[in-house]
Amino acid sequence: MFEFEQGPIRPPSEARSLLIRATRNCPWNRCEFCHTYKGHKFQIRSVDEVKQDIQKARDIAEEIREVSWRSGHGGEVNDEVIRLIYAQYPRYGETHRSVAYWLYFGGTEAFIQDANSLIMKTKELVSVLTFLKEKFPKISRITSYARSKTLARKTVKELRDLYTGGLSRIHVGLETGYDPLLAYIRKGVTAKEHVEAGKKVVESGISLSEYVMPGLGGRRWTREHAIETARVLNQINPHFIRLRTLSVRPDMILYQKVRSGEMELLNDKEVVEETRLFIKHLHDIQSHLASDHILNLLEEIEGKLPDDKEKFLTIIDRYLSLPADERLVFTVGRRAGLYHRLDDLHDDENRLRVEQAISRLKEQGEEKIEETIKSMMSNYI
């Protein structure tokens, strides 16, 4: 049975991507808001090892297509073929399932794992990209995570070589543009390095997706976090800005600062107010702003800057103008996955479910509501 190695995470926007693990874990691994790779050693896999995995993925894809042909579906990977793959476990394991779903969604996108694959030597990563495209000619987009510190050390020529080799997009965890906060969370990079790295990526032709973490500064630095992060992004002008609201789990180092009272977290209303301040200070850029994660309260903030800036502010102001009990209904509905837009408040069936849930929680004490909301959020990371 063919199997190949896959890492633990990828961006939500890469849900339909083939996952190819070029590095294991994170070379920095000190960020206090991240729990994913703690306790795991970073390793750069050899080019031959990665290519072997790509070949295995190709072999699995061919095997799945054979299943499709034998079952009368002409090589198409449809719902019935997916069911056949699932029905024959353990003969067809997790990697068969992941490849089957990838083919189901078109088989045109790939994501290079793990946290900072651009730490590889440029020539070696280009070799991996080239081999991947040779084995899967239909792939039209290849993406990866990278740290700004690593990108700042690359030359524009190196990044252009990666772009020519097939790397379409780089996802960067900016988190904040405020230096004291970057140091506080041990991000291991400065605002200046964020700007330098981002500008290089944009100049190279590679699409750049920068991730911002609303709420990260807590009450102490909420204003500085919003304004300075916008200032950094104004200089970079990335293709995408993606919001990822802070959620603190007990297995994060940052949790101890919250528990001791050293860091005071914002509530949902305050996070939205901070997000408004952040968007207000985004000037003269043409980025696509996306709130594409369940951790974010207002998912409908999505569109192109500067054209949609006023629309974003209007959505935020609409939420902020709601009475407190309405904001609570929306928050619980959103964290439960029932609400995606403010208009969902008018869905009578789901509203009844949410109000009943709130009533049951209140019977256990007011603090139970906040406790439940935090628990639901921690399950999403």
- Digit-coded pLDDT (tens) for 134-145: 999 999 999 999
155 and 296 both lie in a single domain: yes
Asked whether residue 203 is assigned to any structural domain, the reply reads yes
91 or 126, higher pLDDT: 126
238 and 178 both lie in a single domain: yes
Residue 381 pLDDT > 80, yes or no? no
Length of the chain: 381
* Residue-range definition of the domain harbouring residue 96: 1-107
Asked whether residue 137 is assigned to any structural domain, the reply reads no
83 and 29 both lie in a single domain: yes
Q: 301: exposed, middle or buried (C-beta count within 10 Å: 0-12, 13-18, 19+)?
A: buried
Residue 363 pLDDT > 90, yes or no? no
Q: How far apart are CA 27 and CA 30, in angstroms?
A: 9
> Closest Cα to residue 169, out of 120, 205, 138?
205
Asked whether residue 158 is assigned to any structural domain, the reply reads yes
307 and 262 both lie in a single domain: yes
Confidence class for position 302, pLDDT limits 50, 70, 90: very high
Give the H or E element holding residue 241: strand 240-243
- Digit-coded pLDDT (tens) for 152-203: 999 999 999 999 999 999 999 999 999 999 999 999 999 999 999 999 999 9
Residue 362 pLDDT > 90, yes or no? no
* Over residues 114-135, mean pLDDT: 98
Kindly state the percentage of the chain with pLDDT values over 70.
Answer: 98
Instruction: Note the pLDDT of residue 367.
Output: 78
339 and 257 both lie in a single domain: no
Instruction: Note the pLDDT of residue 176.
Output: 98
Kindly state the percentage of the chain with pLDDT values over 90.
Answer: 91
Looking at the structure of the chain, the number of domains it has is 3
Give the C-alpha distances (Å, rounded to integers) separating 153 from 164, 207, 363.
19, 18, 56
- Digit-coded pLDDT (tens) for 68-110: 999 999 999 999 999 999 998 888 999 999 999 999 999 999 9
H helices present in 71-190, as ranges: 79-87, 94-104, 122-135, 148-153, 156-165, 179-184
Max Cα–Cα distance, the chain, nearest Å: 63
308 and 165 both lie in a single domain: yes
- Digit-coded pLDDT (tens) for 209-260: 999 999 999 999 999 999 999 999 999 999 999 999 999 999 999 999 999 9
154 and 270 both lie in a single domain: yes
State the pTM of this model.
0.94
248 and 335 both lie in a single domain: no
Q: How far apart are CA 235 and CA 281, in angstroms?
A: 12
Residue 1 pLDDT > 70, yes or no? no
Return the CATH number at 225: 3.30.750.200
161 and 174 both lie in a single domain: yes
- Digit-coded pLDDT (tens) for 34-79: 999 999 999 999 999 999 999 999 999 999 999 999 999 999 999 9
Give the C-alpha distances (Å, rounded to integers) separating 331 from 70, 231, 239, 343.
49, 29, 29, 13
Asked whether residue 119 is assigned to any structural domain, the reply reads no
- Would you state the structure tokens that stand for residue 237, as one six-digit string? 């002008």
Ordered strands of the 288-290 beta sheet: 18-21, 109-113, 141-146, 167-175, 207-212, 240-243, 288-290, 302-304
130 SS3 class: helix
213 and 357 both lie in a single domain: no
Asked whether residue 227 is assigned to any structural domain, the reply reads yes
Residue 380 pLDDT > 70, yes or no? no
